[in-house]
């Protein structure tokens, strides 16, 4: 099976570049800079140095013995992306893209953020390189993630609230695109997930694949064989594609992407783009599965986790789903909250609510497997940012 | 292919208004379209509301939102166009993002478009291959796909876009989203000059055209001025009062020289 996009950025029928004409030349420029960086050993050396010395890679692959025992099935290994500097996998992509931005001579960075993890990572690399940074964030997400807003401001970024639409990630991306198209001369758009117009999905995957490359070597070292199952949560899908991609050719390795099942199955109650009634559409520069109404307007979504609360999904995931290489499922808000507490209690690791979706799926999957089988779950981020929201929910209020 | 759009813009000093369809409601929207026709619009751009208009500034975002809250969809937009064209022969170009069109069905849209008096389609987020596929399908139904060019468009792309273009070329005056600006950028004149190297089609300039001096300035180097947000802002200001048409009329009185009203168009066999 071929897992590379064609020259126009298509995986099968998914991907491409659906943008206003003004953005075509900047995307071409970005594409050229990205391709040049791929063959540049100096670029790789600098990126490797930063990943190691600044972010603390490689992140651990940790055998979660108590969790595995409690579930009584497969042995569960956790890829600890939460141990990265800034507390999530988002820094991997930000370090790669900030080096590109610098090579392109850009002096101002714009980014979108949902949960705030990408915004914090973007603000961090801008501080590191002394670049101006503007982060767009939906006002609903700002309410949910106050601490991350303050964190970004501490790092010197300007956080701009977006009041349009559902006031979440999708609306923040619209606003970041509007800013970029207005300020293309000096501005670099640091997109945080494996979505958007070509070359973003390919580029983000490239910078996140360090997760899977490390995990592959680590699990071989730990167990002497490849894992039976990989599990990762999928909002846009960057941590998932980062883990999955280096294993795609290993036909015996099963993979599961976990979407946000939210609070119900009705349109607007979840962010499960691949659920029953899934439809293909075009949103924010790419063709993929899109939650939408009968008139083609983008549907509101819901998830307890801001980082999974998005109406579309990265195009490569759409392709992996349709070809059957990766299976996709969803877990509800309540299941994710249970998993959040379960991992905290059994392993002393508080996962992000996004990652809690992957844990919740692992709880179900591992129980049906045997102790000679192994599962790798990506803990894409740490849950400190969610502690306050979870406390409010557990106290009986609505989040 | 008959090109009523090209014909209607050939004389220069053209005026292309944009309004979001059915904003604030179908009846007032029709009244505004009639008024625009009466004030010498050479082509009318009719906006299809979409939930995520990423190329638009706040004024058009809000008009889109208002229309969506009133349940406006492509079916209603087409029906408005049909009613307007039953009595007026001004060419109508649908201005849309791709997703609502895909959901409606491109084939179905092609079949309905001509019947509703739609002469062209402008799809903000379809470029290159995506535009080419769409153009081929539209061509079978005698509907033009209008191309956008921007100051960032390279000469190499301009040549290709102009070679495939139909109707007119929409030149975006500056890098940015739709909405008012202080003056027409120098970039706009440079862009139009570059476009002229590759095509004899009329060139219209839009984005940020909100004052008489903008229109006059654009007429010096381009064939038509596109006015969108300025008109839509008047419609927004009228919400709740039902005097949208009066407000738009007074804006046009400021925006356009008087002789524009007397400038009428005779295009054969075009009325529905």
Please give the pLDDT value at position A114. 87
Please give the pLDDT value at position B269. 47
Using alpha carbons only, give the angle A183, B66, B83 rounded to the nearest 5 degrees: 110
Write out the two tokens for A63.
């055998």
Q: Would you say residue B153 lies in a domain?
A: yes
Phi first, then psi: give them for residue A155, nearest 5 degrees. Answer: -80, 0
Looking at CA atoms only, how far is residue B259 from chain A in angstroms?
Answer: 34
Q: How many domains does chain B have?
A: 1
Q: Would you say residue B267 lies in a domain?
A: no
Q: Give the ranges where B26-89 is alpha helix by DSSP (H).
A: 26-38, 58-69, 74-85
Q: Would you say residue B28 lies in a domain?
A: yes
Of B97, B127, B177, the CB nearest to A182: B177
Please give the pLDDT value at position A317. 98
* A275, pLDDT greater than 50: yes
Tell me how far the alpha carbon of residue A337 is from its chain's centroid.
19
Q: Would you say residue B133 lies in a domain?
A: yes
Rounded distance, CA B150 to CA B234, Å? 27
What does the pLDDT average to over B125-134? Answer: 93
Phi first, then psi: give them for residue B99, nearest 5 degrees. Answer: -60, -45
Write out the two tokens for B75.
């079916």
Full-model pTM: 0.95
Catalytic residue positions of A? 90, 112, 380
B220 among known catalytic residues: no
* A378, pLDDT greater than 80: yes
Contact A8 B50 (CB under 8 A): no
Please give the pLDDT value at position A195. 97
Q: Which residues does residue A76 pair with via DSSP β-bridges, in sequence order? A: A375
Contact A295 B100 (CB under 8 A): yes
Question: Are the C-beta atoms of residues A351 and A79 closer than 8 Å to each other?
Answer: no
Looking at CA atoms only, how far is residue B252 from chain A in angstroms?
Answer: 28
Mutate to test the interface with B, among A295, A299, A310 (most CBs of B within 10 A): A295
Write out the two tokens for A40.
């540049």
What does the pLDDT average to over B226-240? Answer: 95
Looking at CA atoms only, how far is residue A286 from chain B in angstroms?
Answer: 10
What does the pLDDT average to over A260-283? Answer: 94
Contact A292 B54 (CB under 8 A): no
Q: Which residues does residue A387 pair with via DSSP β-bridges, in sequence order? A: none
Q: B69-113, pLDDT tens digit by residue?
A: 999 999 999 999 999 999 999 999 999 999 999 999 999 999 999
State the residue range of the domain holding B80.
Answer: 13-262
Q: Would you say residue B146 lies in a domain?
A: yes
Please give the pLDDT value at position B1. 47
Rounded distance, CA A14 to CA A316, Å? 7
* B257, pLDDT greater than 90: no
Rounded distance, CA A306 to CA B20, Å? 32
Number of CB pairs, chain A paired with chain B, less than 8 A apart: 116
Q: A190-207, pLDDT tens digit by residue?
A: 999 999 999 999 999 999
Rounded distance, CA A258 to CA A363, Å? 12
Please give the pLDDT value at position A146. 83
Contact A296 B61 (CB under 8 A): no
Contact A19 B130 (CB under 8 A): no
* A137, pLDDT greater than 90: yes
For residue A50, give the DSSP letter. Answer: I
State the CB neighbour count (10 A cutoff) for residue A132: 15
Q: Would you say residue B215 lies in a domain?
A: yes
Of A182, A279, A292, the CB nearest to B176: A182
Quote the ipTM score: 0.94
Helix (H, G, I), strand (E, B) or coil at A253: coil
Closest CA to B62 of B163, B178, B161, B199: B178
Rounded distance, CA B148 to CA B7, Å? 19
**What CATH number corresponds to the domain at position B44?**
3.20.20.70
What does the pLDDT average to over A292-315? Answer: 95
Q: Would you say residue B4 lies in a domain?
A: no
Please give the pLDDT value at position B259. 61
Q: B39-61, pLDDT tens digit by residue?
A: 999 999 999 999 999 999 999 99
| Cα dihedral sign, A125-A130-A136-A139 | positive
Please give the pLDDT value at position B179. 87
Q: Would you say residue B72 lies in a domain?
A: yes
Please give the pLDDT value at position A396. 81
């Amino acid at each position: 099976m071929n897992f590379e996009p064609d020259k126009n950025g298509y995986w099968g029928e998914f991907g491409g570049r659906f943008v206003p004409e003004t953005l075509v030349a900047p995307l071409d420029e970005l594409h050229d800079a990205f391709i040049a960086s791929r063959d540049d050993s100096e670029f790789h050396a600098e990126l490797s140095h930063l990943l190691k010395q600044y972010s603390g890679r490689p992140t651990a692959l940790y055998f979660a013995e108590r969790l595995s025992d409690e579930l009584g099935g497969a042995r569960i290994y956790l890829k600890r992306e939460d141990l990265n500097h800034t507390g999530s996998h988002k820094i991997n992509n930000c370090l790669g893209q900030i080096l590109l931005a610098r090579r392109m001579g850009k002096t101002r960075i714009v980014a979108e953020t949902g949960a705030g993890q990408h915004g914090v990572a973007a603000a961090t690399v801008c501080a590191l390189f002394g670049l101006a940074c503007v982060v767009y964030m939906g006002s609903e997400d700002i309410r949910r993630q106050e601490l991350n807003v303050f964190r970004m401001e501490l790092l010197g970024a300007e956080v701009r609230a977006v009041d349009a639409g559902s006031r979440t990630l999708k609306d923040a991306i619209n606003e970041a695109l509007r800013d970029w198209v207005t300020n293309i001369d000096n501005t670099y758009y640091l997109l945080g997930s494996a979505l958007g117009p070509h070359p973003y999905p390919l580029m983000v995957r490239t910078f996140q694949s360090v997760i899977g490359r490390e995990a592959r070597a680590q699990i071989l070292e730990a167990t002497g064989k490849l894992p039976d199952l990989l599990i990762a949560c999928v909002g846009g899908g960057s941590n998932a594609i980062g883990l999955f991609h280096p294993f795609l050719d290993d036909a015996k390795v099963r993979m599961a992407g976990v979407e946000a099942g939210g609070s119900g199955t009705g349109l607007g109650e979840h962010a499960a783009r691949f659920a029953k009634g899934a439809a293909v559409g075009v949103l924010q520069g790419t063709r993929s599965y899109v939650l939408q109404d009968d008139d083609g307007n983008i549907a509101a979504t819901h998830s307890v986790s801001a980082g999974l609360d998005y109406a579309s999904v990265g195009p490569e995931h759409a392709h992996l789903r349709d070809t059957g290489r990766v299976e996709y499922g969803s877990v509800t808000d309540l299941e994710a909250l249970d998993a959040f507490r379960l991992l905290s209690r059994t392993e002393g690791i508080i996962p992000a609510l996004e990652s809690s979706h992957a844990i919740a799926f692992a709880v179900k999957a591992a129980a049906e497997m045997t102790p000679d089988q192994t599962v790798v779950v990506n803990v894409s981020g740490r849950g400190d940012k969610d502690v306050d929201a979870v406390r409010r929910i557990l106290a009986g209020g609505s989040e | 292919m008959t090109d009523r759009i090209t014909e209607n813009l050939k004389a220069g000093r053209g005026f292309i208004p944009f309004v979001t369809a059915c904003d604030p409601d179908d009846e007032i929207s029709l009244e505004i379209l009639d008024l625009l026709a009466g004030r010498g619009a050479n082509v009318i751009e009719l906006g299809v509301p979409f939930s995520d208009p990423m190329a638009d500034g706040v004024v058009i975002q809000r008009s889109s939102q208002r229309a969506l809250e009133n349940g406006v969809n492509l079916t209603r937009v087409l029906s408005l166009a049909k009613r307007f064209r039953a009595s007026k022969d001004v060419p109508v170009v649908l201005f849309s993002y791709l997703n609502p069109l895909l959901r409606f069905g491109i084939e179905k849209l092609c079949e309905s478009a001509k019947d509703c008096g739609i002469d062209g389609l402008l799809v903000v987020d379809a470029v290159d291959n995506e535009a080419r596929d769409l153009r081929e399908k539209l061509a079978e139904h005698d509907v033009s796909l209008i191309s956008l060019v921007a100051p960032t468009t390279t000469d190499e792309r301009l040549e290709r876009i102009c070679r495939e273009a139909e109707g007119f070329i929409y030149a975006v005056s500056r890098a940015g989203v739709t909405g008012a600006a202080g003056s027409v950028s120098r970039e706009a004149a440079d862009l139009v000059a570059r476009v002229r190297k590759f095509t004899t089609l009329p060139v219209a300039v839009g984005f940020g055209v909100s004052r008489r001096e903008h229109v006059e300035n654009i007429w010096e180097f381009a064939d038509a001025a596109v006015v969108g947000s300025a008109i839509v802002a008047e419609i927004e200001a009228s919400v709740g009062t039902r005097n949208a048409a009066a407000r738009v009329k007074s804006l046009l009185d400021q925006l356009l020289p008087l002789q524009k009203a007397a400038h009428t168009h005779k295009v054969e066999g075009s009325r529905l």
